[in-house]
Structure 1
Amino acid sequence: MNKKVVDLLLVSLGSLIAAIGFNTMLLENHIASGGLGGLAVSFQALFGWKPSFFVLIVNIPLLFICYVLLGRATFLKTVYGGTIYPIFIQLTSGLPNLTHTPLLAAVFGGIIVGFGLGLVFLGNSSTGGTGIITQVIHKYSPLPLGTSMVLIDGLVVAVGLAAFNADSVMYSIISLIVISYVVNIMMTGFNASKNLMIISRHHEKIKHYITISADRGVTEIPIHGGFTGKDRFMLMTTISTHEFPKIEKEILAIDETAFIVVMPASHVVGRGFSLTKHYQNEDEDILLPM
């Protein structure tokens, strides 16, 4: 199927799911979890403004700003999601509220909305809104993207103080955290990996174990000891999370003084991870294949 068609379907489905989560979980429980949707929750309580109408109207000047300041390519990626999302909010506005427990609404509403937004992002688009402001601030100021996001979403949640009580604001923060976590999982996947940096006097034995027994690739990096002044090799390998306990145990069995640095690898591309790996010792290896 054509990639543009797939992207269009992902954006449409994701926007629909996010709209359902918004109307059935967040809106009536007064959870303003960031973005234009969060502002819509607060402004409905303050002024009686219809959420779908508010999101659509505010998105129009924001999309114009996107075109002028972020360029035509970003605008084209954003315009469909920014238009279809408020339409789906209106179409699903008649759905019943599924829970009157704010904590459940914050958590499960965050999961549903986060899953929907994740699909939109996988479709190479966004729902516009405050995300456009975040990108503009990031592009035209020294602030990192993450800081810009926290700043804008923090202001949106803070507006909730004018409309609701402190409890609602705290539930909104919980929902915002859940949404961010779910979107991150959607973008990076569930199969987190680990990057190991190993320094050992027995690096040849450890390299042999990793390449032959563990059946993983390894890279030798020349290093110079700052304290000892000696030249050595550091081994670097990337493994799946479930492989780590076994490999760590075997490395320490070879050299109990081995220096091991473990770093998370949220996204790994290549054979054994994103590509099919042909295992050398598949019949005997007790490690689960990727």
Structure 2
Amino acid sequence: MKNKLKDILVDYFFINFGLVISAIGIGLFLVPGKIVSGGVSGIATILYYTFNLPVGLVMLALNIPLFLIGLKIFGKTYGVKTFFGTVFLSVYIDLLRFIIPNANNIIDFDKASNALIAPIFGGVITGIGVGLIMKFGGSTGGTDIVAQIINKYFKIPLGYSFIFIDGLILLAGSSVFGIEKGLYAIISLYAGAVAINKIFEGVSYSKMIYIISDYHEDIKNLILHDFDRGGTGLYGNGLYTNKDKKIIMTVLKNNEIHELKNYVKQIDPNAFVIISEVYEVLGEGFTPF
């Protein structure tokens, strides 16, 4: 029970941290830069410049009905964490812009030399925040609920649903702020997506290596003793030779790969080596569970 409570508190700590980071990205970069890169925050940005309505309050007003619709359609999928994210992201954005009343003027985003600051920094910072929120099971609600409703009732793939909704919002932003801002918004979308993936999936600090060699015993001893790593021996069959082969599978840190390749080349210049990215490794010698 104590461990479960600890896990819940850790989840909410990082979700809250992600919400603060997202609020900085939206409130200090995307909104002042007039970057409408989709989502409820994009709609709120348009309404802020059109009717001078507070960004956070508009987001909350749009998100609450969407949350209730999602709760009715999808049930417990949209639970406490989604409600927490929906409410507090809006609160943090308006609180931040209240604490920093000249947020729109800290950087002159209309200056040609500063044009890329808002889409790149806004996209990356917001993406980092959203990635953290998602990594710990949270959500900020918004248009992802609409996308899932479209997916459920019209059988349009979720990815296309997101593109369709964000595309409409982006077009609306372009019509208000101009095509140039619309193109910058696409950069922001891409930067945000990359940041979300890096945070959600993890930055690759390790590589998975498959080694096929007739000198597998020598290579096995090399990995066990010189690199102090474990591995797994797999059995395969050569399609061309029809001979049984032993395959060594192991995981090494990025800075160990170059040294391993040199050693394997010395042992067997004809070895077949496959190296692929690994985003998370749990266990002895790497990240503990």
TM-score by length of 1: 0.84
Matched, 1:204 2:217: yes
Alpha carbons 2:211, 2:248 under 8 Å: kept: yes
The count of aligned residue pairs is 276
Task: Return 148-157 or 222-231, whichever deviates more.
Answer: 148-157
Task: Return 147-156 or 209-218, whichever deviates more.
Answer: 147-156
The one-character-per-residue Cα deviations of 1:174-233 (angstroms, maximum 9, x if unpaired) are 222222222223233335321111111212211121122112112111111111111111
Name stretches of at least 5 consecutive residues in structure 1 with no aligned partner: 277-290
Matched, 1:193 2:206: yes
Question: For the residues of structure 1 that align with 2:220 and 2:139, how far apart are their CA atoms?
Answer: 45
Alpha carbons 2:204, 2:277 under 8 Å: kept: no
Cα drift, residue 144 of structure 1: 5.7
Cα drift, residue 237 of structure 1: 1.0
Question: For the residues of structure 2 that align with 1:247 and 1:190, how far apart are their CA atoms?
Answer: 21
Question: For the residues of structure 2 that align with 1:274 and 1:224, how far apart are their CA atoms?
Answer: 33
Q: Which amino acid aligns with 1:262?
A: I
The one-character-per-residue Cα deviations of 1:240-271 (angstroms, maximum 9, x if unpaired) are 22211111121122111111111111121111
Aligned equivalent of 1:257: 270
Matched, 1:231 2:244: yes
Over the matched positions of the two proteins, sequence identity in percent amounts to: 34
Aligned equivalent of 2:21: 17
Matched, 1:270 2:275: no
Mapping for residues 108-147 of structure 1, pairs under 5 Å:
108-137=121-150, 146-147=159-160
Task: Return 7-16 or 52-61, whichever deviates more.
Answer: 7-16
Of the three residues 54, 64, 89, the one matched with 2:68 is 64
Alpha carbons 1:63, 1:128 under 8 Å: kept: yes
Aligned equivalent of 1:283: none
SS in 1 for 2:78: helix
Question: For the residues of structure 2 that align with 1:56 and 1:191, how far apart are their CA atoms?
Answer: 36
Q: 1:9 to 1:220 in 2, by over 3 A?
A: closer
Aligned equivalent of 2:175: 162
Question: For the residues of structure 1 that align with 2:91 and 2:74, how far apart are their CA atoms?
Answer: 24
Question: For the residues of structure 1 that align with 2:56 and 2:19, how far apart are their CA atoms?
Answer: 13
The one-character-per-residue Cα deviations of 1:146-185 (angstroms, maximum 9, x if unpaired) are 5554444344333322222222122112222222222223
RMSD between aligned residues: 2.5
Question: For the residues of structure 1 that align with 2:277 and 2:262, how far apart are their CA atoms?
Answer: 18
SS in 2 for 1:157: helix
Question: For the residues of structure 1 that align with 2:160 and 2:185, how far apart are their CA atoms?
Answer: 19
Q: Which amino acid aligns with 1:126?
A: S
Name stretches of at least 5 consecutive residues in structure 2 with no aligned partner: none
